[in-house]
């Protein structure tokens, strides 16, 4: 028997450590959970904020290729769980049949679905990474959390985002890069769960619902779960466990188990 891997992919403005509660929760249920950082990511969020000039100028293709390599490194196709930009990457990877199931939480919009103009999307000539101020983080990212909790989340998890990545996602009216295109009609992929927070200001619930509808032409399984009163910080704030446990239950209902007989099973 071997443990089923789960790869967690964080999104914009969060450090890989943002998955620490999730990896412990999934490991406790028998999964082999890991949360690799983005290429060149600092060991801690504090270090990333102290030295924003050291943040690599990554684009969407860089992230997708990086995590494709991570997923391919396992003997057993893993479950892929992504938040925000990580949710977009997760959809690419499951579409390429690199995982056995995927979960996209508040995923960055795909195809021609309108992108919310959020923090860091202001135009300008600077190519410096974009870091939210604590106040802006509280207003648009952790808007469903209390002020004290938002402050703690910022201190532990908030990091700058590469400007090129924001450009690739179509911020400030720029053309969205081809890397944001997803084949929603793909019939050969594994099951996909889309998750939204109904108070999310960065990726509004209506955006995730629109993505869900785009998958309607595919016979591959796609599910949608909406969480009331939750913002974009739903994977790290005090309600994270409700989201994580729903994902665990969904995997079980879709026949994904924490352990299996080995690679031959797949």
Domain ranges of the chain: 2-265
pLDDT tens track for 215-244: 988 889 999 999 999 999 999 999 999 999
Say how far apart CA 92 and CA 45 lie, in whole Å.
Answer: 26
Indicate the pLDDT class of residue 122, thresholds 50, 70 and 90: very low
| SS3 annotation, the chain | CEECEEEEECCCCECHHHHHHHHHHHHHCCCEEECCCCCCCCCCHHHHHHCHHHCCCCCHHHHHHHHHHHHHCCCCCCEEEEECHHHHHHHHHHHCCCCCEEEEECCCCCCCCCCCCCCCCCCCCCCCCECCCHHHHHHHHCCCCCHHHHHHHHHHHECCECHHHHHHCCHHHCCCCHHHCCCCCCCCCCCEEEEEECCCCCCCHHHHHHHHHHHHHCCCCEEEEEECCCCCCCCCCCCHHHHHHHHHHHHHHCCCCCEECCHHHC
Smallest CA-to-CA distance from 81 within 25, 2, 120, 161 is with: 25
Question: For the whole model, what pTM was predicted?
Answer: 0.92
Query: Domain spanning 2-265: which CATH class is it, in words?
Result: alpha beta
13-54 pLDDT, tens digit per residue, is 999 999 999 999 999 999 999 999 999 999 999 999 999 999
Specify the residue for token string 């779960």. 225
pLDDT at 112 over 70: no
Reported as a single tens digit per residue, the pLDDT across 48-65 is 999 999 999 999 999 999
Which residues on neighbouring strands pair with residue 260, listed in sequence order? 2
Per-residue pLDDT tens digits for 63-74: 999 999 999 999
Two tokens, residue 198: 């109904």
């Amino acid at each position: 028997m071997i443990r089923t891997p789960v790869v967690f992919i964080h999104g914009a403005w969060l450090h890989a450590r943002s998955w620490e509660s999730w990896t412990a929760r999934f490991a406790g249920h028998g999964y082999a959970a890991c949360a690799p950082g983005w290429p060149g990511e600092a060991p801690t969020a504090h270090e990333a904020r102290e030295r924003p000039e050291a943040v690599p100028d990554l684009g969407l293709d860089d992230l997708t290729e990086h995590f494709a390599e991570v997923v391919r490194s396992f003997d057993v196709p893993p479950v892929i769980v992504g938040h925000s930009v990580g949710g977009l990457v997760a959809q690419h990877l499951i579409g390429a049949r690199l995982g056995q199931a995927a979960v996209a939480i508040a995923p960055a919009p795909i195809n021609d679905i309108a992108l919310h103009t959020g923090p860091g999307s202001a135009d300008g000539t600077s190519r410096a990474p974009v870091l939210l101020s604590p106040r802006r983080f509280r207003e648009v990212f952790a808007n469903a959390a209390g002020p004290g909790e938002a402050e703690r989340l910022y201190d532990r998890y908030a990091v700058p985002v590469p400007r090129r990545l924001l450009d690739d996602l179509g911020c400030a009216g720029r053309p969205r890069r081809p890397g944001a295109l997803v084949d929603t009609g793909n019939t050969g992929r594994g099951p996909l769960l889309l998750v939204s927070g109904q108070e999310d200001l960065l990726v509004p619930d209506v955006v995730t619902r629109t993505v869900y509808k785009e998958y309607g032409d595919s016979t591959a399984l796609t599910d949608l779960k909406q969480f009331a009163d939750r913002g974009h910080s739903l994977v790290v704030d005090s309600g994270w466990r409700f989201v994580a446990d729903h994902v665990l239950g969904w995997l079980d209902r879709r026949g994904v188990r924490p352990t299996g007989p080995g690679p031959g099973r797949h």
